[in-house]
């Protein structure tokens, strides 16, 4: 993870937020894998495959983010993982 810029308290809080966002996306991927293991149609659905790939990409982007180096950005955008997931769902399943 990139070392964030801010006060000691801001950096700690922002790292906690970033890790929480990572866990949100990892749980979403686990839920997809769990359902796929029980539902052959779901596992083979092209939209589900596309959704899974995009959610995986979002996880990689958050884990490897080098653009948002200020702790304040993560604090201000603490729900970014849920926003990513909702945006991806809408684009894949409703688009």
Structural domain includes residue 16: yes
Side-chain-side CA neighbours of residue 57 (13 Å): 8
Q: What is the pLDDT of residues 5-35, one digit of tens each?
A: 999 999 999 999 999 999 999 999 999 999 9
What is the radius of gyration, based on Cα positions, of the chain?
A: 15
Spatial distance between the Cα atoms of 10 and 75, rounded to a whole number of angstroms: 8
Tell whether 2 is covered by a domain.
no
Residue 1 lies in a domain: no
Angle (CA) 49-74-56 rounded to 5° is 10
Range(s) of the domain holding residue 56 = 8-93
Assess if residue 36 is contained within a domain.
Answer: yes
Give how many domains the chain has, as a whole number: 1
For residue range 56-86, list pLDDT tens digits in order: 999 999 999 999 999 999 999 999 999 999 9
Dihedral sign from CA coordinates of 62, 63, 65, 70: positive
Total-model pTM: 0.91
């Amino acid at each position: 993870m990139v070392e964030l810029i801010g006060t000691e308290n801001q950096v700690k809080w922002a790292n906690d937020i970033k890790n929480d966002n990572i866990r949100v996306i990892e749980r979403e991927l686990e839920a997809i894998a769990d359902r796929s293991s029980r539902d052959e149609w779901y596992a083979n659905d092209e939209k589900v495959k596309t959704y899974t790939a995009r959610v995986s990409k979002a996880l990689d982007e958050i884990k490897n983010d080098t653009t948002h180096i200020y702790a304040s950005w993560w604090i201000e955008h603490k729900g970014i993982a849920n926003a990513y997931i909702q945006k991806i769902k809408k684009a894949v399943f409703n688009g």
